[in-house]
Structure 1
């Protein structure tokens, strides 16, 4: 539809254009006027002199096109003020920002800041909300330079920090702990995730031990391979463990060992220790053996999640069964263990050790079941359906509430595993029978 021109309105005596200008109609630098009884937009074009060249006329009209485009942007912005989302209180908008910021690990760091470009109000809300800036991710660039999030630390105010560090070079530690870096913010770190060399991990934790009133409750440590030796296990000193980890509730360790006697407030424990294979010449100084694990579980009465990967050897499995049986025989009672909700069990051992692992798994499930645990989630990695014994299946059926288990990333119903095991056993019996002669040899 072609907009009406001024001449068309002038030829209509019943149409009177009464334009009212008010200060409150000024928006985005434009002075607005309102007209009553105007059924559609009125387009006003400049009167171009007839003696102007065509290029000058085009240039003049281009100026008005740019002006009209700017006015259209202002109108759309003004229209958004009346949308329902614009009437949300600032606190609720900030909460929406937070959900977007923590919705998925697929989003890059600070991806939520794109929302600040929607309008000026949202920009102001983002800038003035400290907890939105409290997730600090420090990773060196591809050139090895460490960029400190100085502005982000300032905008986070006094809010507790969640810090993630990736320090492949030890020299970056000095810059990181400077006053421009995390040096003056160590007391605000509530959650810390570190992937670094063994030396850098120890040197990073030492300043935290000297910080008064630290609020560190969640800690994740991953030791990068040093000197290209994958079987290296970093061992933290007892002093560092006692001071840093006495109040830790969520602990994740990858190729890092600690003094387990100082841990007692855990709600979640994930341990991935590198136990060398038979042909490896490198032997770790220590690992989480069964005795230390059972003692840790007995102290951690609030533990709900336990994840172990490559932590227990076949010899440890035999020792574990002896410890559990000895305790039940001597005390004539169940082994006091925390009421776990989730268990993640994984190992990378050869097939020959799976029998010992299955026996240990039965003991573990029975012990937790006697302790009153009702497991909501059981994950078994490294085991196939045919490597799970019927005894393990029976124990799972008694203590897993939803009768499901996750094996190598796939959710399987317990009855499906039982059916597959029965089919496999029948196939094995038939093949064994067909391979014998009439005398049974």
Structure 2
């Protein structure tokens, strides 16, 4: 009897989508290799405060369950409740809830990565692997497509199927699409204040146990609670300048140095309520205190064109931000990425057995085409929602717009 063909599968990118896909496939007896540019994070790094991810029932939570990590997930949530406040720039609370309508528990991004990597077999993730080139070739003797990955170490590896889970600036995407992410006109400065219960009880009272959306004048101060008794603060800045730091002469400056610009500029937060300015400046100062000399984390926001598509190619696909990068204003990015990994894992595990690469790739094609169409249609809907939310949140009267959104949601539930 001829041995069952075992396809060589690589996942490029060790973020939530790549890691979850790897674990879902491993649990189904499918072997993969994951390549990640970053060095393997240390235990100490993974315990630091990070962004919080709200996982939805139909996507993120479903993946957690299928990965067999539900107990670990329950133990990792709780730093941030689902309570939410909407505040205008004058400091007036326009909406407050305790998360009554929400079923989207928050988990630290670091905790999610720790759960996923800790469940994969040793050696599955190849850390510190910088890819210099990816190319596809057709073998003249078999007709199979092979995907060749070249690394900075001058090594190379060949695969029958490669999944691009490598984020906004995906290398794998270049084999499928000419699309390039574009700047959406907004940037996020990130800063964190830890141990707020003892050090800044007044800020804890302002923030509450969950999240805050302080909005107005096309800018915002967005927060959430996090590990180490922290408040993580995002200053949302609307600007046409993609290189905002360079244009303002602040490139390389610390968060503490940057805060002076934030609270002295009429177009930013100069006219905002003192309590909100205090929240922002304290977080900036604490960020610099905990990371001396480190430049401020200011991230321009990018997205792919809504409705991004590509022509099918044998041996390749994309998931997550590599496939459908969108702005973060719908809270869907990581959930869609995890949903992609779940659907792709199901599809790959169901491919009929084959005796060699070309036959396996042919058997894979119908399911892969269907997967891509379903994924991209779903992502288009969420990208449109995210873009619409951005216009509300970062509008002149963002707080009023979001308060109305929540009030309407409550009325629909009555």
Q: TM-score, normalised by structure 1?
A: 0.20
Q: TM-score, normalization: structure 2?
A: 0.21
Bigger helix share: 1
Higher normalized strand content (fraction of residues) = 2
Larger RCO of the pair (alpha carbons < 8 Å, separation 6+): 2
